[in-house]
Structure 1
Amino acid sequence: MKTSPLLALLGGALLAAQSWAAPQFTADLDITSFDGTELDANLLVPDTPPPAGGYPAVLFTNSWALDKHQYLLQAAELAENGYLVMSYSTRGFGASGGQVDVAGDNSLADVRVLIDWLEANYPVGKLGLAGISYGAGISLLGAAADPRVDAVAALSGWSDVVEGLYPNDTVNLVWGTLLVNTAFRRDPVIDQIWSDLRSGQNIDGVIEFGATRSALSFVDALNANDTAVLMSNNFADYLFKPNSMTDLYALLDGPKKLLLNPGTHAVTETLGGNDGHIWATSFRWFDHYLKGDANGIDSEPKVDMTVRISNRLEQFADFPVTQNSSTWYLHPRLTYFNSGSMKGSPYGGWSWSNSFHGGADTRAGTGIPVVSDALEGFGIPVYTNMLGINGYYAIEYNSAVQWSTLKIRGTPTLELWIKPSKPEVQLQLHLYDTGPLGLGRLITHAPVTLHNAEVGREQKISVDFFTTSYDVPPGHVVTLAIDTEGLIYQKPADTNYQIEVPYRSSRVSRLTIPHL
């Protein structure tokens, strides 16, 4: 059968038009929420007919201080793959009305309204929530509150608000100030909570405020809903540390996956760090749990951990990723000019003590807040001169030289005996990888503040460092450096204090490091 040139031309045009067809994009949707607040959203509808069960759908929630435009690239990719996708600006941000309430009742009610709107206007199949930072927290809480949510991708999110802003009773000054000052249309309660936290007043009220906004409080609901939960957090995220997300992960009974990455808060996901692994895995998560694709993600290892600096991806069956650990015991320094040591057996000598003082920061810091941590996500290490730490305002302890690679994986812990001279004291704890030339790279850190310490009495504190993945090379040592101030955290009003560290058989201080 012959085909005329005209028909061939028309057929080619139709094929070309079909190949260039794109999802329908609707900008500037105004959707009225339960209380009359206008929510600004955009929508992408696939150019293909809905499947029998309806379109798989994803609702994106913006990060703090950003808006509905944040996920245009990700939304377009999903829509081209057959998803119905909505992105919106949470109340108080972008062109949406209302006030920022830190994932409060109004924000969660907005999520339900938006899902209602999607279902009223389109055939919706299984539905997922996704977002970075603020969007991640709302996604987790929204999934707990609404059983219609089948899957979540929570990136750089939190499971415990108070742990983020008040780790180990220490005010997270840089991040807290940044958050408060970038929410221009905020509920006045936010200022009150931040003021109470900074002044140490009404801490019970702060904890209650945070509990209603923390996914850890709603684990039972997530489990009852059988929500498929993917979480991604970054090792140098000093706002929402990986620790609280590993706590949430351990309590989830349904489908779950945990990604732990280099870099700082939200930057790794936003700038496509970790070689795009985070978003690629999130899309595969939705493809399986929303579209039903048999892509194998449900049978893969549950934990993806990328080693800091080298950016090498490792996969593990579960978290904790290892049951192996080494315990090193703290031994004293002789003078301010010497370092203490960490050995495989407890100190057995004469009763001894070392002291260091508040009143000054030292080189035992975490680099330039946000900037140094962001560089790490792209494999650019930040060094400090360890020779400038030990002395009157700090103390450090060195391990023996590691003759093989020490593959730290997980959450180091420290049990430390101290005798403080004031009721309020702060310790900044740092683990460093120190090379032969005395240059150190930060492995992890943790702050701790005692607000009602017993003055002049020896007491033991136990602190979890922030979860990490780091390879200490052969020929290097692990250094525990302790001082009393850090650029990220609010210091006590009175910094004129002394910390004494005792050593004897009944006062054993120890560092435990999990490793492969």
Structure 2
Amino acid sequence: MKNTPLVALLCGVLLSAHAWSAPQYIADVDIASFDGTLLDASLFIPESPPPADGYPTVIFTNSWALEKNQYYFQAKELAQNGYLVLSYSTRGFGFSGGLVDVAGDNSIADVGVLINWLEDRYPVGRLGLSGISYGGGISLLSAARYPRVNAVAALSGWADVIEALYPNETVNLVWGSLLVNTAMRKEPVIDQIWGSLRSGQNLPQVLAFAAQRSALSYVDELNRNGTAVLVSNNFADYLFKPNSMTDFYSLLEGPKKLLLNPGTHAVTEVLTGNDGHIWSTSFRWFDHHLKGEDNGMDREPKVDMTVRISNKLERYEDYPVTEKSTTWYLRPRLTLFDSGSLKGSPYWGWGWTNSFNGGWDTFAGTGIPLLSDALEGFGIPVYTPMLAINGYYAIDYESPYQWQTLKIRGAPRLEMWVEPTKAEAQLNIHLYDVGPLGLGRLITHAPVTVHGEPYRAQKIDVELFTTSYDVPFGHWLVLAIDTEGLLYQKPADTNYTVRVPYSNSKSSSLTVPHL
């Protein structure tokens, strides 16, 4: 009992210290943008005195169809570590005014207004931008516009709008429709652009719209600004595929970091998946580039790649992570009930032709749109029974057995001769890992829509979506190709045949990068 006053005193001191270190939270702030549009924001202000050069500061931008409160816990954690943090809802979303313009001039100008608003009221030091999906894309575009931005952490963002919505001239129907239909307050041009893309009309206007909103168009500005750029994308993200982001990353000349993870679009980050690696690395990125902490970030490998299914984290000095690859050549099947083969040397036999037909989907596919992609992040892949792939509507090729683990790292590439019987034909290309039971696990895929004179042979060159996957000992690869997929808009006329010629002069091949 005699110790009670002392204990009470100590507890009071501890509670006071904790209260002193807790950041101030302002839940609702209306900020007038350049055109009078009110942007709804929230603010965390550190209780600790600002450093001599001002608070390290982060602006969070919301994901598509979400709003400022999306990053409450991340913002609070940063503020508890001395950051000034503003989160806001982009125009057209949440309680912000205005109309969604898909990261257009108005949205990028809004970021400049927010920077000025903060600097007019608080001692802002080095400045970072961050966000998931829409927020990641706006962060990259804004960093290119404003040299004041020192660092970016763009998670599930995009580098190329065309690759996102029109990969290999194929309309990304499920994801595009989801985006357009969840923006309730949007500029009329968005519906116009989406309608033009779906109909194949006014494509120059569509391409110009996309280029203005693609980070790949502004690499020179980011390099000139010296912005420290961290980007994170997911292997089963069939909206913002990793391929263009790895291209973008390779062009950056300043400090940079690339995270490649299992899972689908934004889900890995929102659910703090990948064992929290994405957010913890982003925070360390800001600690180094905004707070100046010597935390080793500048000495670590630049690429963190997590292997699908096993979720094993691997680190590499740069991307591409390997220069090694194996090329297999496509050999013909003898009947509709056979598989073609993938061999180590080109086909040199008599001229031969296989064919398969449009008009029907097959078991070759990416699973249930959105759901299967999300489950992939939890180690639940898409399975397909290889024997169920209908040879009338598809064609498949089997590789030799793999007598050691094949560690695929990167984007497989298919070069293939085809002769469609119509001026437009779609191919959905799937690469599977197949085991003794004949069940295939989807490794990666890509669509391509070919245009040209009917019955005329043309060679397609398709980069499948980037992946990291280990094919186990005793398994083999299957390349399966059909003409429809649930994710993509099919041609108006699906009554066509795709012929595959084989000859000395028409050699088709699959190249797979691996360790």
Q: Tell me the TM-score range normalised by the shorter chain.
A: over 0.9
Any idea what SS the aligned residue of 1:50 has? coil
- Matched residue, 1:510: 509
CA distance in 1, matches of 2:5, 2:35: 58
Any idea what SS the aligned residue of 2:298 has? coil
- Matched residue, 1:454: 453
Shift of 1:20: 3.9
Cα deviation digits, residues 148-168 of structure 1 (max 9, x gap): 100000000001111100000
Q: Work out the percentage of aligned pairs sharing the same amino acid.
A: 72
- Matched residue, 2:484: 485
CA distance in 2, matches of 1:20, 1:223: 42
CA distance in 2, matches of 1:244, 1:12: 55
Any idea what SS the aligned residue of 2:506 has? coil
CA distance in 1, matches of 2:197, 2:361: 23
CA distance in 2, matches of 1:187, 1:359: 36
Q: Is the 8 A contact 1:390 1:396 kept in 2?
A: no
Shift of 1:295: 0.4
CA distance in 2, matches of 1:17, 1:515: 57
CA distance in 2, matches of 1:329, 1:164: 29
Shift of 1:441: 0.5
Shift of 1:8: 8.1
Corresponding position: 1:300 with 2:300: yes
Any idea what SS the aligned residue of 1:298 has? helix
* Greater displacement, 381-390 / 477-486: 381-390
Shift of 1:383: 1.0
CA distance in 2, matches of 1:426, 1:441: 23
CA distance in 1, matches of 2:348, 2:452: 27
CA distance in 2, matches of 1:10, 1:302: 49
CA distance in 2, matches of 1:465, 1:6: 70
Any idea what SS the aligned residue of 1:195 has? helix
* Greater displacement, 470-479 / 6-15: 6-15
Corresponding position: 1:267 with 2:267: yes
- Matched residue, 1:433: 433
Cα deviation digits, residues 350-373 of structure 1 (max 9, x gap): 110100000000011000011111
- Matched residue, 1:465: 464
- Matched residue, 2:114: 114
* Count of residue pairs the alignment pairs up: 513
Q: Is the 8 A contact 1:262 1:311 kept in 2?
A: yes
Q: Which amino acid is 2:355 matched to?
A: S
Shift of 1:19: 2.1
CA distance in 2, matches of 1:108, 1:480: 43
- Matched residue, 2:373: 373
CA separation of 1:482 and 1:116: change in aligned 2, threshold 3 A: same
Any idea what SS the aligned residue of 2:391 has? coil
CA distance in 1, matches of 2:416, 2:315: 33
Give 1:401-440 correspondences, 5 Å limit: 401-440=401-440
- Matched residue, 1:233: 233
TM-score (norm 1): 0.98
CA distance in 1, matches of 2:302, 2:233: 14
Q: Is the 8 A contact 1:68 1:87 kept in 2?
A: yes
- Matched residue, 1:98: 98
Give 1:103-502 correspondences, 5 Å limit: 103-450=103-450, 452-502=451-501
Cα deviation digits, residues 50-74 of structure 1 (max 9, x gap): 0111000000000000000000010
* Greater displacement, 235-244 / 8-17: 8-17
CA distance in 1, matches of 2:35, 2:18: 43
Shift of 1:327: 0.2
CA distance in 2, matches of 1:121, 1:182: 35
| Long gaps (5+) in structure 2 | none
Any idea what SS the aligned residue of 2:113 has? helix
Q: Which amino acid is 1:185 matched to?
A: R
List, as ranges, runs of 4+ consecutive aligned residues in structure 1 with deviation greater than 6 Å. 4-8
CA distance in 2, matches of 1:182, 1:403: 48
Shift of 1:134: 0.2
Q: Is the 8 A contact 1:129 1:139 kept in 2?
A: yes
Q: Is the 8 A contact 1:274 1:378 kept in 2?
A: no
- Matched residue, 1:52: 52
Shift of 1:15: 3.1
CA distance in 2, matches of 1:472, 1:493: 37
- Matched residue, 2:12: 13
Any idea what SS the aligned residue of 2:290 has? helix
Q: Which amino acid is 1:16 matched to?
A: L
Q: Which amino acid is 2:491 matched to?
A: P
CA distance in 1, matches of 2:464, 2:501: 22
Q: Which amino acid is 1:466 matched to?
A: F
Any idea what SS the aligned residue of 1:128 has? strand
TM-score (norm 2): 0.98
Any idea what SS the aligned residue of 1:291 has? coil
CA distance in 2, matches of 1:113, 1:53: 21
Any idea what SS the aligned residue of 1:72 has? helix
Q: Which amino acid is 1:108 matched to?
A: I
- Matched residue, 1:34: 34
Shift of 1:131: 0.2
Any idea what SS the aligned residue of 1:463 has? strand
Q: Is the 8 A contact 1:338 1:390 kept in 2?
A: no
Q: Is the 8 A contact 1:339 1:390 kept in 2?
A: no
Any idea what SS the aligned residue of 1:349 has? coil
Q: Which amino acid is 2:459 matched to?
A: K
Any idea what SS the aligned residue of 2:489 has? coil
Shift of 1:10: 4.9
Cα deviation digits, residues 448-480 of structure 1 (max 9, x gap): 002x31211111010000000000001111000
Q: Which amino acid is 1:486 matched to?
A: G
Shift of 1:381: 2.1
Q: Is the 8 A contact 1:139 1:154 kept in 2?
A: yes
Shift of 1:382: 2.5
Q: Which amino acid is 1:86 matched to?
A: L
Q: Which amino acid is 2:164 matched to?
A: G
Any idea what SS the aligned residue of 2:272 has? coil
CA distance in 2, matches of 1:7, 1:331: 85
| Long gaps (5+) in structure 1 | none
Shift of 1:294: 0.3
CA distance in 1, matches of 2:65, 2:8: 51
Shift of 1:16: 2.0
Q: Which amino acid is 2:263 matched to?
A: G
CA RMSD of aligned residues (A): 1.3
Any idea what SS the aligned residue of 2:231 has? strand
Cα deviation digits, residues 11-56 of structure 1 (max 9, x gap): 6523321124411000110000000000000000111110111000
Cα deviation digits, residues 417-471 of structure 1 (max 9, x gap): 0011000100000000011111010000000002x31211111010000000000
Q: Which amino acid is 2:472 matched to?
A: P
CA distance in 1, matches of 2:18, 2:62: 31
Q: Which amino acid is 2:60 matched to?
A: F
